[in-house]
Amino acid sequence: MSRLLGERFTAVVGPDRVLLARRAGWRGTPRLQAQAECAAPTAKAAVAALAELLARPDVGKGTLSIVLSNHFVQYVLLPWRPEVNGPSELAAYAAILFDETFGSDTGGREILIGPERAGSARIAAGIDAALLQGLRGAAAASRLKLVSVTPYLTAAFDRVRRTVGSRDFMFVLAEPARSCVMVATGGRWRSLRNTAGGAMPHELAHLIEREAQLAGLADEGMPPVFVHAPGNDALKVPPCQGVTPRTIASSRGADDPLLAMALTVN
């Protein structure tokens, strides 16, 4: 890529630290540029860490994509309702479900709703509005143009969608201290959960067993189980409900989980 066009940066915002990666060339692999510790596992501290990185003198003109750890994202499945028509009604429906599930957010939340065919549940992600405002403000104060803020689950699943298939599967996305579990049966979303917890093999096996019970899979038979843990392509999870989980290796040699998370951005 010509330097006249600027460079491409990816920031991965986690609860403990924020990592800034620079992509060498249009298709190059992101490389570590810098990182900063968060003073606390809060949105305010994460924004401060990002602002510190973007203010560095070695960060010039270019574009910025932000990947947001699932620590900062709430998820719900929106059941199909034929009477809900149009974007405004869908947004209102989603807001009600978020309030019922997580309580009313006095500071406000922005809700992103994924596309889905008629008759199927939709995935919706809720992000604290103050966090998004802070991230956008940090980018605006820098020389970079913000092009996207993407929840890690969204970015990662887009990468592995062809691997897991489109009908029956369980997909576990295991960050170091947080895991998301998605279950689909018959080509439709069945359950989605975002939970705190470790990413050791026995911890993930316990999580898979629990989610299988909650989703009612124990009586129906387990679908194929896929696991991705950024920075740990050698992960081996013990068999669960008679099924051996398959690890999806896509970290391309990156041992740092946040750097591996940066690889999800095209």
Sign of the torsion formed by the C-alpha atoms of 117, 119, 120 and 125: positive
C-alpha 48/C-alpha 29 separation (Å) is 26
**pLDDT at res. 118:** 83
| 59 vs 61: CA distance, rounded Å | 7
Residues in the chain: 266
Non-local CB neighbours of 173 within 8 Å, separated by 6+ positions: 70, 152, 153, 156, 157, 179, 180, 181, 182, 228
Q: Specify whether 21 is located in the same domain as 51.
A: yes
Asked if residue 137 and residue 45 are part of one domain, the reply reads yes
Three-state DSSP at 127 gives strand
* Residues 89 and 108 reside in one and the same domain: yes
Q: How far apart are CA 132 and CA 217, in angstroms?
A: 36
Angle at 193 between CA 156 and CA 108, to 5 degrees: 90
Instruction: Report yes or no on 264 lying in a domain.
Output: no
Residue 49 domain boundaries? 3-70+129-152
Position 257 in a domain: no
pLDDT of residue 6 exceeding 90: no
How confident is the model at residue 5, as a pLDDT? 54
Confidence grade of residue 193 (pLDDT, cut at 50, 70, 90): very high
Q: Are residues 119 and 138 in the same domain?
A: no
- The pLDDT tens digits for 112-154 are 999 888 888 999 999 999 999 999 999 999 999 999 999 999 9
**55 is written with which tokens?**
């203010």
Give mean pLDDT, residues 75-90.
92
* pTM for this entry: 0.93
Cα–Cα distance for residue pair 108/31, rounded to 1 Å = 35
How many domains, the chain? 3
Q: How many CB atoms lie within 10 A of CB 128?
A: 17
**Whether 190 contacts 131, CB under 8 Å:** no
Q: What is the pLDDT of residues 208-231, one digit of tens each?
A: 999 999 998 877 889 999 999 999
